[in-house]
Amino acid sequence: MDTPRLPIQNVTGFAGSVPPAHLGINNDCDALVTLPSHEQASRAPAPRDDAGASVEVREACFDDYAKIANLQARYELEVRSYEEWSHLWINNPVYRGREWWPIGWVLETGDKEIVGYIGNIPLLYEFQGRMLLTATGRAFVVDEQHRSHSFMLLDRYFRQPKVDLHLNTTVNAQAVSAYGIFRAMRVPVGEWDQSAFWITNHRGFVESLLKSRSIPLAGILSFPISLASRLRELFSHKELKADSAVQVDYSSSFDDRFEAFWAELKTNNRRLLAVRDRETLEWHFRHSLLGDRIWILTVGTPSRIDAYAIFFRDDNPKFDLKRMRLVDFQALNDGHHLLLSMLASALQRCRAEGIHMLEIIGYCPEKREVVDGAIPYRRQLPSWMYFYRTKNRELAEQLKSADVWDPSGFDGDSSF
């Protein structure tokens, strides 16, 4: 039987989509107005704001935090505390020793008002014995009156020296044309324009869905609609067949086993893979752990990990949606089947804790094949979300092959 359709279709807000008025990159997606081409920009006069004063781009510094946060708040983007924002660089193992690395760029008017910003986070990726210094954009936002100058920020980001690879994993429909201008390529594997998910609290999910459409009496209407949704799911014959003999454990931290796991994983890996040593995992998920926003699931023994999965809490508070998202799964010796048991455990916990949905986006074919037959719902996203760019011709040719990719929500800024 075909995958059941939701009672209400084409609803935004359930895969992190941002309304077009919210220009910017946030935790969920990048948004950008239409930009001029390189040729047009080179012929254009010095940019000026609406009052005729010049608008300049300069490198961001930590002292800019308050003005950047104020800009983000004006456009209803999530504002992190200074500690959490600066942590992306100060405690970043890739940034340490590379303090020359720009933390981003700001668009500034003549009276020192910050009207645009893009963060720039350094990451390390391993690829066939090479270590690649990688940049990912973060929190791209430009004031509405100055969006014609957005090109200047992206230009600085893509032109920065010493970078082997640019990865941007949260691109939305408003940004796709801009990434095309800078010759960014779509990652050639995975379904980065679709959301596959389970509903784990039907009434809560449907009520959130109705709120996203501004339908009155959402709480009352959610009961009969959610009942219909549950019945359709029941008759879809989609079943997650996990191995009951596989023991799944929850970890509250990244212990020494993760270091040993990474050493073994990278030894046998020939694909592009973000560094996942213990130090990097602790940095990446530090504030998510402090805020109880991730689940760390492992299969193995007290002294060894055979596979792990990380689920990231990614709610949409505007519509009261409670959501968990699978952001990373890695297994030794092609143990992709272990993902079924981990998903079964996570689904059970979602239901127990009243979380509305568990979502999967992307992933390589080998991992998706394991679970595709068991996922009851899918939703088309507004655009392809994962783009990359490299100035190295040999690397660019290698990355055209789907066989060298193992993408996940751990990449880029998707799960900070």
Task: Report pLDDT digits (tens) over 136-180.
Answer: 999 888 998 998 888 899 999 999 999 999 999 988 777 788 888
As a whole number of angstroms, the distance between CA 119 and CA 137 comes to 5
Q: What is the structure's pLDDT at 23?
A: 28
292's enclosing H/E stretch is: none
As a whole number of angstroms, the distance between CA 128 and CA 406 comes to 13
- Average pLDDT over the chain, rounded to whole? 85
Q: Which long-range contacts (CB under 8 A, 24 or more apart) does 148-151 make?
A: 148/33, 148/47, 149/47, 149/55, 149/107, 149/116, 150/23, 150/32, 150/33, 150/35, 150/107, 150/116, 150/178, 151/35, 151/36, 151/41, 151/178, 151/181
Q: What is the structure's pLDDT at 30?
A: 42
Q: What is the structure's pLDDT at 53?
A: 58
Q: How is the chain split among helix, strand and coil, in percent rounded to 5?
A: 35, 25, 40
Q: Which residues of the chain, if any, have pLDDT below 70?
A: 1-53, 223, 225, 227-228, 230-232, 234-237
> For the whole model, what pTM was predicted?
0.85
Buried b (16+ CB within 10 A) or exposed e, 271-296: bbbbbbbbbbbebbbebbbeeebbbb
Cα separations in angstroms, 354 against 189, 200, 232, 296, 350: 33, 8, 20, 19, 6
Please report, for the chain, the start and end positions of each structural domain, with discontinuous segments joined by +: 194-383
Q: What is the structure's pLDDT at 231?
A: 60
Whether domain 194-383 has CATH 3.40.630.30: yes
Angle at 387 (CA atoms; ends 385, 392), nearest 5 degrees: 175
Q: Which of 153, 198, 190, 143 is nearest to 169 (CA)?
A: 190
